[in-house]
């Protein structure tokens, strides 16, 4: 099972994401490094394990703060330059062609978040070939975020899908295994990645046993609840 570390960028620094309450996010306090600068955080994560992928949430872009080129765009470009073999999965709140082209120019792997699309027509207007993007199905405490048809009809999905339980993110309460089970029951041939709430090796083993392709993790790495020995299994 793939383990993908996560960094959340806000105002050019790495913040601690917690339960989707973006207005309350503060600079991260990591046991891996005293810094909250992105390049330092990435270096610290790669010291734990030679990860092949890195998921980045550009919270300025997701919240439409500032211009199309968010303050984090150059930060992500710097990460890509410093670590050219590291595959970057970037959610930048893309909702239109202008935003899409900006990030395609950077050459990162595009994550399309369901929360950015009120209608299925807006989603399809991006006209992305299935193999060229990753879909994040976003869930808050009040339920699915986005066009309900996008959730209900797997014909709209690319092969790689993230089950993003924002209410679980940073909560240390365990992953949303029920969502994984329900999704796999109707989409058994998709690569499903689970994000939010993963605490330890037991949680990872549970997700693996239930059929997850991978897991996205932040807090458990920074709090040293998941160590190198677990990641090597």
Q: What is the pLDDT of residues 118-176, one digit of tens each?
A: 999 999 999 887 778 999 999 988 899 999 999 999 999 999 999 999 876 756 678 89
Q: What is the pLDDT of residue 128?
A: 86
Q: Tell me the whole-structure pTM to 2 decimals.
A: 0.93
Statement: residue 97 has pLDDT above 70: yes
**To which residue do tokens 């991978």 refer?**
214
Taking phi over 0 as left and psi of -120 to 50 as alpha, with beta for the rest, 170 belongs to left
**To which residue do tokens 């330890």 refer?**
200
Q: In this structure, what token pair is assigned to residue 105?
A: 């120019």
Question: Mind listing the pLDDT tens digit for each residue in 26-67?
Answer: 899 999 999 999 999 999 999 999 999 999 999 999 988 876
Q: Is 30 helix (H, G, I), strand (E, B) or coil?
A: coil
* Inter-residue contact 225 to 198 (CB < 8 Å): no
Taking only Cα atoms into account, the Rg of the chain, rounded to an integer number of angstroms, comes to 16
Question: Mind listing the pLDDT tens digit for each residue in 165-178?
Answer: 987 675 667 889 99
Q: What is the mean pLDDT of residues 103-117?
A: 96
Is the CATH code 3.20.20.70 the one for domain 2-231? yes
* Inter-residue contact 226 to 65 (CB < 8 Å): no
Q: Is 77 helix (H, G, I), strand (E, B) or coil?
A: helix
Question: Mind listing the pLDDT tens digit for each residue in 190-232?
Answer: 999 999 989 999 999 999 999 999 999 998 999 999 988 888 7
Give percent of the chain with pLDDT exceeding 70: 93
Q: What letter would DSSP give residue 153?
A: -
Statement: residue 95 has pLDDT above 90: yes
Say if strands 133-140 and 143-145 run parallel, antiparallel, or are unpaired.
antiparallel
Q: What is the pLDDT of residue 22?
A: 60
Q: What is the pLDDT of residue 20?
A: 53
Q: What is the pLDDT of residue 168?
A: 67
Q: Nearest to residue 6, comparing CAs of 36, 45, 47?
A: 45
């Amino acid at each position: 099972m793939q383990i993908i570390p996560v960094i959340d960028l806000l105002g050019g620094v790495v913040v601690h994401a917690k339960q989707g309450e973006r207005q309350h996010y503060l600079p991260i306090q990591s046991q891996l490094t005293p810094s909250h600068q992105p390049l330092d955080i990435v270096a610290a994560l790669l010291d734990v394990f030679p990860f092949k992928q890195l998921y980045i949430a550009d919270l300025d872009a997701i919240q439409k703060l500032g211009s199309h080129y968010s303050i984090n765009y150059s930060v992500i470009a710097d990460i890509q330059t410093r670590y050219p073999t590291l595959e970057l999965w970037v959610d930048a709140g893309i909702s239109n062609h202008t935003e899409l082209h900006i990030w395609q120019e950077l050459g990162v792997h595009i994550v399309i978040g369901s929360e950015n699309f009120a209608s299925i027509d807006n989603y399809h207007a991006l006209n992305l070939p299935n193999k060229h993007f990753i879909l994040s199905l976003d869930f808050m405490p009040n339920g699915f975020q986005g066009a309900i048809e996008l959730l209900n009809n797997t014909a709209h999905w690319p092969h790689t899908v993230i089950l993003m339980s924002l209410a679980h993110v940073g909560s240390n309460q365990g992953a949303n295994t029920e969502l994984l089970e329900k999704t796999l029951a109707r989409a058994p041939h998709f690569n499903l990645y689970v994000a939010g709430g993963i605490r330890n090796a037991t949680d990872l083993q549970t997700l693996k046993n239930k059929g997850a392709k991978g897991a996205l993790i932040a807090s458990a790495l920074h709090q040293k609840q998941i160590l190198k020995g677990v990641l090597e299994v």
